Structure 1
Amino acid sequence: MKSPKNFLARFVESQKDLVRDAVVEVIKNSSSSKIAGFVIDMFCTSMIDVANGLGIPTYVFVSSGAAALGLMLHLQSLRDDSNLNLTKYKNSDAEISVPTHCKPVPATVWPSSVFDKESDLLDFVKRYRETAGIIVNSFLEFESHQIRSLSNNETIPPIYPFGPILEFGEDQTDEEKQNHRKIFEWLDRQPRSSVVFLCFGSKGCFDEDQVKEIAVALENSRHRFLWSLRKPPSGEKNESPGEYENPEEVLPQGFLERTVEIGKVIGWAPQIAVLSHPAVGGFVSHCGWNSTLESVWCGVPMAVWPLFAEQHANAFLLVKEFEMAVEIKMDYRKESGIIVDAETIEKAIKQLMDPENEIRVKLRALKEKSRMALIEGGSSCNYLKCFVENVMKNIP
C-alpha cells in the first residue's frame, strides 16, 4: 500500500486526462484566443505532462520565497545528481553550503519531508527544472541575493519574483464579523506599537502544557498582548485546528482575570488586518511565508517559532541571514514533544517589543520597499511585465 503522504501526487495525476480534455475543448471552441502557457501550482507538476503533450510551455508558481526554493532545489540536486542520502541528516547538526544562502544551512532547519524516503516533495521540486519559468512570491529588495543566485544558475529556469502577493479580503459570517469587530475595538484602546500579536497560522496550535508556558510568559512579560489561541484537532491528522468554547480550560487558573487590563485571548484572527493596526508592535509567528510577507508589508517585527514545512528555513533566513527577527526556537519540531519554557518565550517577547531594537528600523524600511516594488517601475512590476512578454512570445 502506498503511503497516504503520496495522496496529493496521486490525486493530481488522476486528473490529467480531465484537464487535457478541458484544455483541448477550449482550443477547439476558440478561433481568436490562444493558450500561451500553463501556470501550475508547485504541487501540481503532473500537469507539465499535459502541457507538453499539447506543445504549451509550463510555468510553476511557488508560494514560498526564493531562499526556500533555492534550498529545496539544492537538496534535490544533492539527492539526484550527487546520490546523497539525505535521510542520514535527520537529527543531525551538520551544515551544508547552499548557493542562495550566505551562511551554511543546518539540517535542523530543513523541511522534515526531505528526511522521509516516501515523501514526494523533492520529486515535485525536480520537475520545476522542466518548466519555462518559476514564479516566486517575493520581491527583489527583500531577497536580492537569493533571487540573483537563482537567476544566475543555468540549471534553473528563469525566475519571476513579482510579490508580495497578499490576500486582503476574506468571506466572513455574521458571527465572525462581530468577533472581529470586538478585536479592533480592543486594539483601538491600546497605545501605538504596544501590543504583541501571537498567531500561528491556519494549522498552528499547541497542546495544553505548551499553552500554559505561553500564558506564563505573557503574564510575566507585562506587555499588552492579543493571542490567537486555537484548539488542536481531535480527529484526523490533517484536520485544521478549531476554536475553544472556553479557553480557561487550558489556561492557568485566573490568567484571564489577572491579564484583563493588558491582554485579549481570541480564536481565529484576520491576520493582515490586525498587523496593519497601529497598536500592534510585534508578531509572534510560525514563520509561514505568507505571514512573513504580511509582517514585512505591515512593518511589524517578528519573533519566530516555526512548526513544520519550510517554516524553519524561513526562520533561519530571517534570524541568521537577514538579522531582522527574534528567535524563540528555530529548530522546534511539533512532533518532537519538546516544550518551550516560559522563560525562553518571555525573553524573546521582551526583546521583540524593545523600542530600541534595530530590527524595527529594518522592518520600516522593508515596508516602504515592499510597496515600491509593486508600483509602475518597481522591481516586481518590471518582473511581471517581463513574464507577460515572455509568455506572449509563445504564441506563433
Structure 2
Amino acid sequence: MKKAELVFVPSPGMGHLVSMVELAKLLVHHDDRVSITVIIIRLALDTKISEYTESLTASTISTRIQFIDLPSDQTNTSNDHPSKFVTSLIESQKPHVKEFVSDLITQSELNPKAPRLAGFVLDMFCTGMIDVANEFGVPSYLYFTSSAAFLGFQFHMQALHDKQEVDLTELKDMDTEFETPSLVNPLPVKVFPSVMLSKDALPVVLYHVRRFREAKGIIVNTFEELESHAVKCLSNGETPTVYPVGPILKLKGEAHDVGSDGSKNYKEDIMLWLDDQTPSSVVFLCFGSMGSFDVDQVREIAWALENSGRPFLWSLRKPPSEDKIDFPVDHLYLREVLPDGFLDRTAKIGKVIGWAPQVDVLAHPSVGGFVSHCGWNSILESVWFRIPLATWPMYAEQQFNAFQVVIELGLAVEIKMDYRKEFLIDDEMILDAKEIERGIKRVMELDDNRLNKLKIMSENSRGALMNGGSSYSFLGNLIKDMMIDGDYIHVP
C-alpha cells in the first residue's frame, strides 16, 4: 500500500487553524495511509493561538499528525489592511517552509517505508505557498473555510473584474443587486464583503482568487445537502474540483477552565449557571474572536436584553486599540460600560461573560437562540446543534453569510444583515435597543417553517459525515485523488 505525506499550511487565525487541524484528523482517521505535517505560522500578538499550538505540540491526537512551529520573524506596526498583512506574512515564510519540506523529502528517501510527499493543503489565505508546492512538483489543494456559495461568488466577481473589466469598487454605496451563479437569489451590493469594494484590499482578494484556480482541488467546509445549488454550480468544470467534506467542527470544547482575568473554574461556572435555566430559554450572544463593540452599542444591547425579559448569556469583549491590528479582550470593569444598575437588575436572569466556550454553550439544552456575527464556523455549529440563529455580521464575509442563511437557506432571522464594524472603518452604525429586542424575540420564537428546515438540516449535517454520507464519500474521492498524485515527487 502506498503511503502519502501531506503538508498543511494554515493561516494564522484561530478559526482557520482549528478548522484545518480538524480536517487533518478527519483525513488520517479515514485512511491509515495518510500522514500529515501541519506547519504553524504564529502571530505574536495572538496569545490564544500560542496556547492552542502549544497544546497541539504536546498532544498525541494521532501518531500520523505532527506539528512544526515556524519562527515568528515578522510583526506589523503599520495601518495596512489585515488582508495585506497576512499575505505579506505568508510570503515571508516561504523560505522556512521550503527548507522544512526539503528536509522532509530527504528523510523520506532514506527510509523506503516512509510516506512520500503527495501534496500541499493550503489555507485560502496561503495561496502564495502554491509556488513552493510547484517547486517540489506536487499538487496544491486549497482548504476553503467559508461557504461554497461564497467561493462561487468570489470566482464570479474575479471573472467580472478580469474578463469584463468591471470596477467592483465603483459599486460601493450603490443600492443594487447582482445575479450570482452560486446563489438562487440576487445578492444586494450592501452585503458584499468590504474588501471587495476597497481599492486598497481588492487587489489582494483578486490575487488569491486567481490563485485558487491553480489548485488541483478545493476542499470546502460545507456539506452537499446544505448548499446543493452552490456545489452543483461549482461542478461545471470551469474551476478546480470541489470537495464538500464538512461540517468540520471542533465539537470538544477547550480544555482550559480559566477566565481572562485568571479566575478559576471559569467554564464550569458558566455551565452551572446554564444548568439552572429552563430548556431552550436562554438567548446566547457571541460575536467571535474578533467581535467587539464600543460603549454606545454595548448599552443598546443591554437595554434590549433587559427589556426582552428573557434569560441571556452575553459574551462581551473590549475593542482593540484604535488603528492597530489587535484582538479584543475581556472587560475587567463591566459596570463602566453597562448602563447604571443593569447587572443588579438582571442578576436573576442574565450572565455577562468574557471569552465564551461556544461549542459547550450551544450544546447545552437551556440555550434556545444564538445572536451571532455569522462566521461560517458559527453557522455550521448552530445547524449542528439545531440552535436558531439571529444574524449580526461584523467583518470579512459575514454580511454575505447572513444573507445566505436568512434569504438563501431560510434557516435564520435577521437582526441586521449589512451591519459593519471593521478595521480602519470609521462609519460604525449603531443598532438601537428596539431593533435588537425585536431580533431577539424573533429568534426565540422562530416560525415553524424555519424550525423544521433547521431540524432537517441538523440531521443532514450529521448524516453527511457518516459512512455512506455525502461528505464521507467526497472525502474518499479526495484521498483517492491525492494518492494517485503521490507518485510524482521532484526535489528542486
Q: TM-score, normalised by structure 1?
A: 0.96
Q: Over aligned residues, Cα RMSD in angstroms?
A: 1.5
Tell me the alpha carbon deviations over residues 211-238 of structure 1, each in whole angstroms, 9 at most, x when there is no partner.
Answer: 1111111111111111111111235532
Residue aligning to 2:153: 71
Return closer, same or farther for 1:40/1:211 CA change in 2, 3 Å cut-off.
same
User: Once structures 1 and 2 are overlaid, which stretch shifts more, 32-41 or 102-111?
Assistant: 32-41
- Cα distance, 1:356 vs structure 2: 4.7
Q: Does 1:19 align with 2:97?
A: yes
CA drift at 1:242? 0.9
Q: Which residue of 1 aligns with 2:215?
A: 131
Q: Tell me if the contact between 1:248 and 1:256 (Cα under 8 Å) persists in the aligned partners.
A: yes
Deviation at 1:323, TM superposition (A): 1.4
1:52 corresponds in structure 2 to: 134
Q: Does 1:363 align with 2:450?
A: no
C-alpha distance after superposition, 1:333-354 (max 9, x if no partner): 2242211111111111111111
Q: 1:380 to 1:176 in 2, by over 3 A?
A: farther
1:312 matches 2:399 = yes
Cα deviation, residue 145, structure 1: 0.9
Post-superposition Cα deviations, 1:353-396, rounded to whole Å, max 9, x if no partner, equal 11654322222222211111111111111111000001111133
**Residues 138 and 162 in structure 1, CA contact (< 8 A), matched pair in contact too:** yes
The whole-number CA distance in structure 2 between the counterparts of 1:265 and 1:60 is 39
Instruction: Name which of 273, 290, 313 aligns with 1:226.
Output: 313
**Residue 257 of structure 1, CA deviation:** 1.5
**1:8-63 deviation line (CA, Å, top 9, x unaligned):** 22222222232222212221221332111111111111111111122111101011
| Offset of residue 3 of structure 1 | 7.1
Q: Which amino acid aligns with 1:343?
A: K
Q: Corresponding residue for 2:173?
A: 91
Shift of 1:176: 6.0
- 1:178 is the counterpart of 2:256: no
User: Which residue does the alignment assign to 2:247?
Assistant: 164
Residue from 188, 193, 199 that aligns with 1:111: 193
Residue 28 (1) aligns with residue 106 (2): yes
Task: Look up the equivalent residue of 1:365 and give its one-letter code.
Answer: I
CA shift, 1:155, in A, is 1.9
**1:235-262, Cα deviation, whole Å (9 max, x unpaired):** 5532111111221111111111111121
Q: Which one-letter code corresponds to 2:268 in the other structure?
A: R
C-alpha displacement at 1:114, in angstroms? 1.1
Q: What whole-Å deviation, never above 9, does each CA across 1:135-186 have from its counterpart, x for those lacking one?
A: 100011111111111112x221000111111123324254466111111111
For residues 282 and 215 of structure 1, the distance between their equivalents in structure 2, rounded to whole angstroms, comes to 17
Alignment of 1:338-377 (within 5 A): 338-354=429-445, 356-377=447-468
Range with bigger deviation, 199-208 or 66-75: 66-75
Residue 244 of structure 1: aligned partner: 331
8 A contact 1:351–1:357 mirrored in 2: no
Q: State the Cα distance separating 1:331 from its structure 2 match.
A: 0.7
The 3-state SS of whatever aligns with 1:326 is strand
Output the CA distance in 2 between the equivalents of 1:92 and 1:236: 27
For 1:238, give the aligned amino acid.
I
Q: Distance in 1 between matches of 2:333 and 2:436?
A: 24
Moved more, 58-67 or 355-364: 355-364
Contact 1:3–1:118 (8 Å) recurs in 2: no
Matched, 1:146 2:224: no
Could you list the runs of 5+ residues in structure 1 that have no partner in the other structure?
none
Is structure 2 residue 467 aligned with structure 1 residue 383?
no
What TM-score, normalized by structure 2, do the two folds share? 0.78
What CA distance in whole angstroms lies between the structure 2 residues aligned with 1:233 and 1:203?
9
C-alpha distance in 2 between matches for 1:59 and 1:177: 42
